[in-house]
Amino acid sequence: MLDHTHDAATLSWVGSANDPATDFPLQNLPFCSFRSQGTLEPWRIGVGIGDQILDLTGWGLTDMNALMARSSVERRALRHRLFDTLKAGSPQVDLVPQSGAEYTLPCRIGDYTDFYTGIHHARAVGKLFRPDNPLLPNYQWLPIGYHGRSSSIVVSGTPLRRPKGQVKPPDADQPVFKPSARLDCELELGLFVGPGNALGEPFSIDEADEHAFGLTLLNDWSARDIQPWEYQPLGPFLAKNFGTTISPWIVTMEALAPFRIPFTRPMEDPQPLPHLDSPAHRANASFDIGLEVWLKTPAMPEPVRLSRSNLRHAYWSLAQMLTHHASNGCNLQPGDLLGTGTISGPQPDEAGSLLELTAGGKQPITLPNGETRIFLLDGDQLGLRASAEKPGYRRIGFGACDGVILPAR
């Protein structure tokens, strides 16, 4: 899976792409949909390079979903062409400054499924809701997921309004309808589906990579006081579907090839069933991708990092998510989005949600300026960041995934 496009020594004629701190070196080349700020221009497919964007309109690429439907061989060929166009020594072409662009969702998202692959998050939240039975029996046998709402997925920078919903206090006889007072974030990555599969035609675990296009940062905003009243017996609903924020950038699976690591499962745990397991899958199906949660309140001049985690802590792999989703014949389509679920690590400071960081709201977080938070207040800005780093390779970043909370209507 590694080739010359991963060579850390190759520089770009775009100076900002050679900055060690950039999210978008020549070795990344993430996709987005953009146009010039303050205009009604058509949205265009772009590729991030340093602090610039390469407009692909002149390349005959006008439909992101059609690009995502291409085979892995075709996608690698396009990556090679982009790399050769932007590497040092190649003739320079016109670029668009990212500072002058605005973004929309990178593609048409037909369906959205959110999984629950972070076992440390699952255990921590399970203890809050079910102290005697935190991890349900099926968790270690299949990737748990629920069907989300694609219409409420928004791009980074879009304000999010505090939701209202039914809340039932523990000592009340009946629920009340009110604005959520326990608004939370969830630190996730989103997997965009590439080529789909026909209805009734599942694929094997070793074929899953062909159906994976790339990753984006994803924040599955959650109303924790609405969630426990409504989620039984059918799972999340209004506590989740009022908004999901993603980064405007899709980092391709080809760019992330150097950061694959073996998929391992504790020997004392149930091992995956045969359709979710193979020697090839165990060899390299996980990824070493660092994840971070940042918070900026209206009174703070700069954001502060609340926690950091890593995709390596996921109990189920991206390939297992894809394979399981299609195992009953469900037809995935180009542009479908699969969320990983909250990826928390084993340590308290690796939690991917405020629910965990505050022990269910019992232990407020003290910020550097003396403010405290249990859950998000109006005016708070919550941001996610991610990057993949490995000696001998360029650092790959994912851009920003930010949202600010507005008061309920």
Q: H or E stretch including 306?
A: strand 304-310
* 116 and 91 co-located in one domain: no
Cα gap 132→127, rounded to integer Å: 7
* 78 and 141 co-located in one domain: no
pLDDT tens string 9-44:
999 999 999 999 999 999 999 999 999 999 999 999
Q: What percent of the chain has pLDDT over 90?
A: 96
By C-alpha distance, which of 82, 18, 11 is closest to 252?
A: 82
* 293 and 339 co-located in one domain: yes
3-state secondary structure of 320: helix
CATH number, domain of 93, equals 2.30.30.230
* 68 and 125 co-located in one domain: no
CATH number, domain of 329, equals 3.90.850.10
Last residue of a domain, one of 69, 85, 104: 104
Cα gap 184→87, rounded to integer Å: 42
Classify residue 328 by burial, with Cβ atoms within 10 Å: 0-12, 13-18, 19+. Answer: exposed
pLDDT tens string 56-88:
999 999 999 999 999 999 999 999 999 999 999
* 158 and 213 co-located in one domain: yes
* 44 and 181 co-located in one domain: no
Task: Say how many domains are in the chain.
Answer: 2
Last residue of a domain, one of 49, 83, 104: 104
Q: Which domain holds residue 99?
A: 4-104
* 87 and 118 co-located in one domain: no
Give the distance, in angstroms, between the CA of residue 23 and the centroid of all CA atoms in the same chain.
15
**pTM of the predicted protein model:** 0.97
Residue 130 has a pLDDT of: 83
Helix and strand numbers (H, E) in the chain are 7, 27
CB atoms within 10 A of CB 116: 21
* 139 and 46 co-located in one domain: no
Last residue of a domain, one of 60, 76, 104: 104
* 70 and 151 co-located in one domain: no
pLDDT tens string 88-133:
999 999 999 999 999 999 999 999 999 999 999 999 999 987 888 8
* 347 and 294 co-located in one domain: yes
Cα gap 125→133, rounded to integer Å: 11
Question: Looking at the annotation, which residues are catalytic?
Answer: 121
